[in-house]
Structure 1
Amino acid sequence: MGKYLNIRVLFLFRARALSCKSFQLTICSKIVLVSRLKRDFEDLDFHLFPAEIERFQLRILSIGTAEYFIGSAIEKFLQVAIKKQQERWLRFEAAERSSQKQEEAKPSTSWGPLDSVPVELKADKPDIQPIICDHSNYRYDLCSLNRQTVLEPTTNTLFVSGSDNQNPKNQPTQEKIRPYPRKWEKSVMTRITELTVTSASASTPAPACKFRHSAPALIFSAGGYTGNFFHDFNDGFIPLFVTSRSISSNQDIVLVVSHCDDWWINKYAELLQQFSRHPIVNLDRATDTHCFPSATVGLISQGFMTIEPSLLPHSETFLDFRAVIGDAYRDIPVYFRRPSIGRRPRLVLAARNGGVGRVILNQAEVVQVAEAVGFEVILFEPNLYSSLSQAYGLINGSHAMLGVHGAALTHSLFLRPGSVLIQVVPIGIDWLAETCFGKSSRDMGLEYVEYKIEQEESSLIERYGKDHLVLTDPKAVVKEDWFNIKKIYLQGQDVKLDLVRIQSYLQKAYEKAKRFMAKDDY
């Protein structure tokens, strides 16, 4: 990642971190500020459509302006809330500058951020709380363990040393955390292994250390919806990127993972190596204690397929995450990358099979139309065990991708900036399409095209009739029962594309793909 960072910004940040009492505490403070504002919003008694809540919360997360609002009352609240948060932030920065002056008066050292300070020096800083946990975020819980930490895997317990000064009554601090970033889904979270974080002291000593690591630990779960390709990235690798870049920029962390299945390690081996140079500690199979100089428990999620640069130490963007994927698979054989038919731009059609919904019923005809327009068309139907290196080579070497909204479109992360993505959007899922793939595609520099089907192109018209509420007012149907979006619009709907309409979209995509192809460096 070093080659993607602005070196001047990197050194400025390191210099700033020197003056802070705690690098991790600074990060946690930012998270708490944002979480407070979100909590204020969620406490208001406004009944909003979930898509509007999601977009509005993203506005709050960025602490931006009130140019997007839902009614004058919410606009006024946002203006007041942002002003209060700005005032708090100014006070926080003033206190930080005061701390900086005090630190500058001390003899200088060559230490970097706290995470790079040797264990024995880090443990001698009594002003840093050993255990800092933030449970205020809607999406995730996060704990920073700022002293030597002993993992006892048979009881899923983390013992943190150095708490006596912070706890004069000598009563152990204890926190419970399920390190998976979908906290609002209780049914999912009950399947995530709960970890106990507790302070170690003379009365409650930590167990003896069997394996000692020199790098901090990042502890999370690969359970939940893992196995669905969209969730593997949305709930896994994107939060992993955000969290790892928040606590360390030099890849020097040890990944400790629960629900760590062999297929997951094998499938994502190249990508996991981009986050840590150390072997993974499989929490499900470990039986011996592991010791770390410090640890972070949990993953930071900033929203669906979202990376907020303003909340990261080095202002990383979605393009930086895309670069990590590129680094993971840069050594694949070159023949995977080249179109096989002359110099025709390649279109990957992400296919779906029957029984899962959102199947293109006239897929063969759509392929013929795309080929007539000028594309070389490759059908792509991935499964749980598909080779990611081959998928990356195919898609990264292509110039356009077409598919109905679904997990397979997550492979658009493999497209190069400047490629074209056409997302076919079935009736009733406009906000899902934008939230899951629209925004991230633009953030990644793709030419994003949205093909919203009409009533006649949906299989729902045969089941319900064109005047049924399911077709005339999907928002009302979803508002009545949130699970209708899955039952009716995702699993219960196929599409039969209008060949004349899709041809016009494909023609425009072809022209964009040809322009991109002119810059193609393969």
Structure 2
Amino acid sequence: MVTGTTSLVLSDRYSRENPAPASASPIICNRSHLNYDICSINSPTVLDPKASTFYVTGHTISKPQVEKIQPYPRKWDKFRMNRIKEFNLTSGPPSPPCMVQHNATALVFSVGGYDGDFFSDFYDEFIPLFITINSLFSGKDLVLVISNVRGWWIWRYADLLQSFNKHPIINLDNDTTTHCFPSATIGLMSLDLKSKNPKPTTNSKIILQFHQLLEKTYGHNHSSNSPSLKTRPQLVLAGRRGAIGRLIMNRAEVKKVAEDEGFDVVEFDPKYAIPMHEVYALLSSSHVLVGVHGAALTHLLFLRPGSVLVQVVPLATEWLAERCFGILAREMDLDYMDYKIGVGESSLVDKYGKDHMALKDPAGFLEKNRGWTSMTVETYLKKQNVRLDLDRFRGYLKKAFVKAKAFMDREG
């Protein structure tokens, strides 16, 4: 079990720790953060979607200013950023005529990182959107302007988007109309999952607050699935069916052991076709979530605070497991346990033999191969599956049951 008080670092220091310099320019950009750039246009502006350009109006400046920005909060990730549309912000040439007038400021961002990746949907998009709105626009009227968006994404998250903003979103991928705004912000703040020294912030409850938004959005849909009707703690066993790597090879046996230890077990294979309110109903009425490190564990955001999360950690993924889900689990006030597999539980034994450096010394293997390269990602994340030691894992399930039963008796 992981212990300690490690906390997320919020990257909301745009307005607190890195104030923009005084300037007569209507365009101000802050590029000091590792994860994101963010620009503001503090003047009326016209957006031309065809040119991906914001033109400043109503402001005279002797020397025209031009800025470029890709509004996605993972600027260190070159692979993803190559897929993100770039925007031009200019105070120079005259703007095209305005066709649609808006009385609310524009908040512009992209959702084009990894299409269909549930982890990215929340960690790179919705949580940064929540942080940005609550840090810079609390109580203010906004129009969400989104690029690199897919129709399925809008359908999938329609309810959540409405919880952020009352206005219809502007989808820049199928819009050719010029839009006028009194001001605009381009880019999103983000959680700092790469910080080497995470520490509490002035708003360390941001993840709990985001969970409250999820509950407000989806919680009213599952009144018929009240957790008070359960007599045994419910454990959700998250799978990766259809995914590449990190499968539980003895999943049926793991389910049987969990049932023997007193759980009602629900096998859950995330699919985009399942309505979000159904997924939320399942997780928020459960007491334990178990899964191998991977995007499915993002569903920890749907658990009730006080629930139990057991993350199965494959070889070499300890740092990733902690940064992606361990820290967030504690921020969610979950009772977090990590099950680090042994060499004999990794399918890599069959490929390399137990004495190979990739198994005996994963840290050395990563260092030798220059960290997380395409080769090491292929080895540890795509080729590695797990076969859990049932006797050892049973011990974790026993502890999880005690915690879950106490939570169920207390909260239902």
Is TM more than 0.5 here? yes
Task: Write out per-residue CA displacement over residues 166-220 of structure 1, whole angstroms, 9 at most, x where no aligned residue.
Answer: x3xx3311011111111112232122111100015xxx22222211111111000
Greater share of residues in strand = 2
- TM-superposed CA distance for 1:339, in Å, is 7.7
Q: Who is 1:209 aligned against? A: 98
Matches within 5 A, 1:60-75: none
For residues 163 and 303 of structure 2, what CA distance do their matches in structure 1 show?
Answer: 19
* CA displacement, residues 88-138 of structure 1 (integer Å, 9 cap, x when unaligned): xxxx9xxxxxxxxxxxxxxxxxxxxxxxxxxxxxxxxx9764110112322
1:458 aligned residue: 346
Structure 1 pair 176–308 and aligned structure 2 pair: CA distance change class (3 A):
farther
User: Which one of 360, 363, 373 corresponds to residue 261 of structure 2?
Assistant: 373
Alignment of 1:214-363 (within 5 A): 214-250=103-139, 252-304=141-193, 310=201, 317-338=206-227, 342-353=230-241, 356-363=244-251
User: Is this contact kept in 2: 1:220–1:298, CA < 8 A?
Assistant: yes
What's the counterpart of residue 486 of structure 1?
Answer: 377
Q: Which residue, 282, 285, 291 being the options, matches 1:403?
A: 291
Opposite residue 331 of structure 1, the aligned amino acid is: H
> Which letter does structure 1 place at the counterpart of 2:77?
E
Structure with the higher fraction of residues in helix conformation: 1
Distance 1:246 1:308, change over 3 A: farther
Question: How far off is 1:32 after superposition?
Answer: 2.6
Q: Any residues of structure 2 matched to 1:78-93 within 5 Å, and which?
A: none
Is the contact between residue 149 and residue 291 of structure 1 (CA under 8 Å) also seen in structure 2?
yes
Unaligned runs of 5+ in 2: 1-11
Letter of the 2:387 partner, please give it.
Answer: K
Contact 2:244/2:382, CA 8 A, preserved across alignment: yes
Question: 2:410 is matched with which residue?
Answer: 519
Contact 1:157 1:196 (8 Å CA) reproduced: yes
Deviations 1:360-390 (A, max 9, x none): 1111011010001000000000123322110
Q: Is this contact kept in 2: 1:339–1:346, CA < 8 A?
A: no
Radius of gyration: which is bigger? 1
CA distance in 2, matches of 1:31, 1:182: 20
Q: Encode CA deviations 1:311-357: one digit per residue, 9 max, x unaligned.
A: 66xx65211111111111022132344487x5111000001226611
Code of the aligned partner of 2:396 = Y
TM-score by length of 2: 0.91
Give the number of equivalent residue pairs.
Answer: 396
Within 2, Cα distance between the matches of 1:432 and 1:492?
A: 16
Partner of 1:112: none
- Return 5+ residue gaps in structure 1 as ranges: 1-25, 36-91, 93-125
TM-score by length of 1: 0.72
Query: Which residue number corresponds to residue 102 of structure 1?
Result: none
Alpha carbon RMSD of aligned pairs, Å? 2.3
Partner-residue secondary structure (3-state), 2:75: coil
Distance in 1, matches of 2:154 and 2:287, equals 30
2:70 to 178, 181, 184: 178
C-alpha displacement of 1:302: 3.0
SS of aligned partner of 2:16: helix
Note the C-alpha offset of 1:229.
0.3
Query: Structure 1 residues 269, 131: closer, same or farther in 2, change over 3 A?
Result: same
Identity %: 48
Tell me the equivalent position of 2:52. Answer: 156
